[in-house]
Structure 1
Amino acid sequence: MSFLRALITRTRAAAVLAGLLALLFLAGAATVSAVRADATPHPATTVTVTVGDGNGDGRIDEDEPGWDCRTMGNRVCGTDTRH
């Protein structure tokens, strides 16, 4: 009976040790992945300045200084006489 009890005790100790090692490995892996996630640079915030934007809304509309009737909109410069 003493041999069986010793075998059970050793098996239980080995199972507890294996569980602790697995927990330690998972905690280490989580820490490494968290450090790698924080180490990645974040994209810089960019501010777009549109030259010719008369009212500052971020886009150039018709009748603003930056409007080019040859390349923007319906490409009609001046008064459209077609109906």
Structure 2
Amino acid sequence: MEITLSEKQEQEFSNYVTGLLNTAIENAERKANLNSPFLKGKRAAAKYLGVSTQTLTKMMSSGLECHYIEGLENVVFFDKREISKFIKQQ
């Protein structure tokens, strides 16, 4: 079975598929927190770096900056730029 589309239909179909793919990519990036400059929690930062949380704790002891929000003292945040800067300085 073969389906033949006009040029206009091909373009509309292509635009539709492109839109679906772009939406799927944006959703995956948002879900994975790829576009955020911050990481929430030691696990997320360790995963981002590809190290264990124990190694991350050692890095924090060696000067890796981390941030806390008043009222959320049990939650630590990391800035991806600061992580990169720390790595480059080591």
TM-score by length of structure 1 reads 0.38
TM-score by length of structure 2 reads 0.35
Q: Larger relative CO (CA 8 A, sep 6+): 1 or 2?
A: 2
| Structure that is richer in helix per residue | 2
